[in-house]
Structure 1
Amino acid sequence: WLKVSGATALPFRSPHTPVPGWFHRHSRTAEGERHGAGQEGVRAVRQRGSTHVRGQFRRAPDRLRCGAHPAAIPGGAACTGGLLFFSAGILVFGLADRIVAAVAGEEIAPVAPHPRAELAILFAARMLADAGGTVAMLGSMSIALDANPGNRGALMGASETAIGVGFSVGPSIGAAFFTAGGFPAPFAAASVMSLGLLPLLALSRGCGASGAALEEAAGEGGASEEGHGGSSGNGECMGSPPSPWSSPAALSVALVAVASLFCFGFLDPTLAPFEAEILGATTAGAGVLFSCAAFPYALLGTVVGALVDAAPGSAAAMICGGGIALGATVMVLPPLAPFMATWAWQVVVLFVLGLAVAFAMVPVVPLASALLQEEARAAGRPAVDEDVVLSFTWMAFTLGELSGPLAGSYLAGVYGFPAAARGTGAFTLLVIFATTLVLGASGQFTCRRRRAQVAAADEPLLERRFSSPGSHGTDMKNGLLVSRALSGTLG
């Protein structure tokens, strides 16, 4: 199930490579004519509008991702339905120009004859695709966490590793398909690759207990909980579970997730032109530099997750330390001295930045879960459902991923990359400072609290209506190793 998370990232990211240049077909319209005659007007619109439209367009589907919550439907159905929606949406995206031309009875032209209609289809298709991909990823993570309750850090790290690898190699694969078959090719390939995961899902479901048995067991578990007043069976837990939105500690951890992906996403539309200016980097060179940040984050995700499982009390320190390093590296990315405007300096800084992102992001889900479990235990209330925490933290990731490129495009265009990067780094450090104060006030950095977290590490952090390591046909140790290997390979 976990490999779906990484495998979905590859087709989601791979078509991004041809998107920026292809958007010029929607910029070469009457607006270009107003800027001047001929190619001068076209170049003016390209310089002013293409980056902004691209930033808006890439992140527009994230608005729908914020509302995803897989708890209402079974994980298998969520994964299957999500992959189908993703496959359909990404295919329609690649064929948008052909759809408009077919409806209008016209031939496909280099310049979009009906840009508004085509852009409307593109936005709708990407929202459908990304909503489906999010449901599939969240559903797979929900099932993986349910089947392996003691390895939350490792599962989160493996998922981030798979997604990171997919995001790293996806653009290169998309560029290869684009070169071979034109703009629709990478999107058609992504659609086919997504459908290819359905047999794996069916095989995984067939290895576990039958659906009827699972539903019957889940129903018995729900009836047992209702008979005990929603408690864990001893009648001591009263009231409703604590909400992540009412927990200052959980909110502060989510804010770190927002700031981390905001900082990382800031580089998405701004790093390539910046490196081209100071290093003369080509498109390929800029891609290599971005990979210097993406690959360390991807490869270190599983290691950081294993560290969180081995030392749960260190999660708060990892998040705060990683956030501090992230803010500092972004601030020193623009050259302050001649030696900083070199390939060696940029590679080292981006490599450290990738490591910092891994330490700041991977422990978010385990730490938020532990914080809410402690609050529930202290107040004598039922524990929060895992899917609620997963959706809450994923929303934080999405908000950072949404706002980072948009703010980066605007700030770099208005104030220049150096000022924008230093401002982004300062914002990240400010968020980490506030989070450190909140977590410190809740005792997360005390030795006593760390011992308590280590002692509770063997307990299931969160309650589930039906949870069994074998309920999804998953052997914990072997399943985790296989999911890591396959998710990295497919990603």
Structure 2
Amino acid sequence: MPKYTRQQYLTLFVFAVADFCNAVCVSLQAPFYPMMAESKGATATQYGFVFGVFELIVFIASPFYGNYINKIGPKFMFNAGIFTTATTCIMFGFLDRINDTNTFIGLSFAIRIIEALGNAGFLTASFSIIAKEFPENVGATFASLETCYGLGMIAGPTLGGALFEVGGYTLPFVSLGGTLIAAATLTYCILPSHNEFSEKESSGNIFQLIKVPSIALSAYAIIASSISIGFLQATLEPHLRSFGLSPLQLGLMFILNGAFYGLFAPLWGWLCDKHINPNIVVIIGAFFTITTFLLVGPAPYLPIEHITIPICIIALVIHGMGFGAELVATFTSAHRDAVANGFPDDIQTYGMVSGMWASTFALGAFIGPSVAGALFDLIGFEWATQFVVALHVIVALAFSAHLCCKKKTPNEGLYTKIHNSLAVTDAEKACLITTSESKPRISPQVSIADSSYNSGISDSSNEYYVS
């Protein structure tokens, strides 16, 4: 367990509460909104797009938030995002008062779009603050909070359904939205401001970020992993329909992914922070996901004639583990790679990387169900799963090639950090860079901001890394 300061523990606490409550509000309408929409005369296509537009808006808005987080301010963006999500959740609870079909669907779209804008701001700011507050434990902290978010996504439909049975359509939205407003008040009082970063000029944009090959690979892996979960959400139920499972049993099958994602995500984060190259963790996650989609079909070319419930359970458990490995490792490596490739180690960079992560995840979540439904109708579930297999074969091969081609330096990672507070003199710097036989290695984490130092030491940096 890392040693955290009191401020870090408080930050973890409010993040955990906010992540859980936000996920509950975003997901609570799944069990009963379709029924309400149909009672107003809406078709499945219409209310299906109400769900789908959420991810599309997150995809569009997240890069914008990431680029301008240093001007908006991470704390303001975080709290404004939570407050927006909470108020739109409450507003969604009064749609049952509207009887006209077009008005009902139109307002559903409008509220869901605004809710997505709030959620995108919340996610981008929270990921950025994590990277700033926990620079030595980004992976483990991100994974732990993702566990809270995953638990909220699981609890949302359950709590929503229970409250719907008790008090009707409005009660779930008002009560759980009110809880999120209380969480927003808590974060406003406790969360650090990071005001020192708010006036800095932008040092790049998300398009420059994606030009870095390793970050582009991470973006692709995020999309592929997000497509995999969206694929199952759209097609697993009709695939298992022949077994005659009860709604409760089907619900438990869907929970397996999230439960094992939540269980293993902190482990993957700990490994990425201290023990294993995150790219290796991505490859492991890709192989787990490939195994899942070979089994859950099962693949037509495997010697398994029919899917069985035990095989499906095993496949979903493996998917939860692999899904977590890919998401946590890509988040960790993207932040490191951005700084290692010359982006400043500040909130602006954290915001751009976080916006990229949230945006690409949302894109995959939008593509996954859409492609899954079309392929399911066209070629059946068994062959449709090979689309996800192919995506993750590419992930495994691309990351393996990147690891092999990456220039490796001996004794990589064995550095001593010399802070500016130690008053390193110009003479001492000269000693570091003019030795011939025992020339110290400079950490690739330091950007070469001043070409006058060919050794890699940056004049503008406050930290120096030597072996």
TM-score, structure 1 normalization = 0.73
Alignment check: 8 A CA contact 2:295 2:311 kept: no
1:59 maps to which residue?
52
Deviations 1:415-474 (A, max 9, x none): 32222222222233234323433443334xx5x47x5256489999699xxxxxxxxxxx
Say whether 1:430 aligns with 2:394: yes
1:131 and 2:91 correspond: no
**Aligned-residue offset at 1:375:** 2.3
Instruction: Show the counterpart of 1:8.
Output: 22
Give the letter for the 2:326 counterpart: A
Does structure 1 residue 93 correspond to structure 2 residue 92? yes
Distance in structure 2 (CA, Å) of the matches to 1:462 and 1:64: 35
Letter of the structure 2 residue corresponding to residue 427 of structure 1? L
- Evaluate the alpha carbon distance shift between residue 5 and residue 156 of structure 1 in structure 2; reply closer, same or farther with a 3 A threshold: same
Cα distance in 1 for partners of 2:95, 2:133 equals 40
What residue identity is the alignment partner of 1:452?
E
The CA distance in 2 between the partners of 1:442 and 1:360, in whole Å, is: 20
Aligned counterpart, 1:357: 323
Shift of 1:172: 1.2
Aligned equivalent of 2:224: 259
Alpha carbons of 1:177 and 1:162: their partners in 2 closer, same or farther (altered >3 Å)? same
Does structure 2 retain, via aligned residues, the 8 Å contact 1:165–1:295?
Answer: yes
For residues 148-168 of structure 1, give each alpha carbon's deviation from its aligned partner in whole angstroms, at most 9, with x where no partner exists: 211111121112211111112
User: How has the CA–CA distance of structure 1 residues 339 and 389 changed in structure 2, closer, same or farther, with 3 Å as cutoff?
Assistant: same
Q: Which runs of 5+ in 2 are unaligned?
A: 1-10, 419-442, 448-467
Aligned to 1:409: 373
The 8 Å contact of residues 81 and 136 in structure 1, kept in 2 or not, is answered as yes
Deviation of the 1:88 alpha carbon: 2.0
1:54 deviation in Å?
4.7
Give the whole-Å Cα distance in 1 for the aligned partners of 2:132 and 2:261: 25
Measured after TM superposition, the shift of residue 181 of structure 1 is 2.1
Distance 1:267 1:141 in 2: 26
Q: CA deviation at 1:393?
A: 1.6
The 5 A counterparts of 1:175-194 are 175-194=161-180
Q: Which amino acid aligns with 2:92?
A: F
Which AA in structure 2 matches 1:92?
Answer: M
Aligned residue type for 2:288: A
Deviation at 1:177, TM superposition (A): 1.3
For residues 14-93 of structure 1, what are the structure 2 equivalents within 5 Å? Answer: 14-25=28-39, 28=41, 50=44, 52-66=45-59, 67-68=61-62, 69=65, 71=69, 72-93=71-92
- The residue matched to 2:229 in structure 1 has which SS? helix
Which of 316, 326, 351 in structure 2 is aligned with 1:387? Answer: 351
Are residues 435 and 310 of structure 1, via their aligned partners in 2, closer, same or farther at CA, if it must alter by over 3 Å? closer
The 1:181/1:240 distance shift into structure 2, 3 A limit, reads closer
The answer to whether structure 1 residue 314 and structure 2 residue 313 are counterparts is no
Paired residues, number: 398
Rate the CA distance shift 1:274–1:246 in 2: closer, same or farther, 3 A: same
SS in 1 for 2:26: helix
User: d(CA) in 1 for partners of 2:444 and 2:237?
Assistant: 45
Q: d(CA) in 2 for partners of 1:115 and 1:199?
A: 36
Change (3 A) 1:356 1:454: farther
**Cα 1:423–1:141 shift into 2, 3 Å:** closer
Measured in 2, the distance between the counterparts of 1:61 and 1:360 equals: 23
Take 1:457 and 1:189, find their aligned partners in 2: how far apart are those partners? 50
Unaligned runs of 5+ in 1: 30-48, 102-113, 231-238, 464-491
Q: Assess, with a 3 A threshold, how the Cα gap between structure 1 residues 406 and 162 changes in structure 2: closer, same or farther.
A: same
Within 1, Cα distance between the matches of 2:114 and 2:289?
32
Match of 1:104 in 2: none
- 1:241 CA displacement: 11
Structure 2 CA distance for aligned equivalents of residues 185 and 115 of structure 1: 22
Question: How has the CA–CA distance of structure 1 residues 241 and 85 changed in structure 2, closer, same or farther, with 3 Å as cutoff?
Answer: closer
- Distance in 1 (CA, whole Å) between partners of 2:350 and 2:363 is 20
Query: If the length of structure 2 is used for normalisation, what is the TM-score?
Result: 0.77
CA distance 1:453–1:13, shift in 2 (3 Å): farther
Instruction: Tell me which protein shows more helix as a share of its residues.
Output: 1
Contact 1:86/1:133 (CA < 8 Å) preserved in 2?
yes
- Could you tell me how far apart the structure 1 residues matched to 2:31 and 2:232 are? 15
Displacement after TM superposition at 1:412 (Å): 1.7
What is the distance in 1 between the residues matched to 2:444 and 2:91?
43
Q: Please report the RMSD computed on the Cα atoms of aligned residues, expressed in angstroms.
A: 3.0
Name the CA shift for 1:241/1:276 in 2 (closer, same or farther; >3 Å).
closer
By relative contact order (CA 8 Å, sep 6+), the higher-ranking structure is: 1
Paired residue secondary structure (1:196)? helix
Residue 309 of structure 2 corresponds to residue 343 of structure 1: yes
Distance 1:141 1:370, change over 3 A: closer
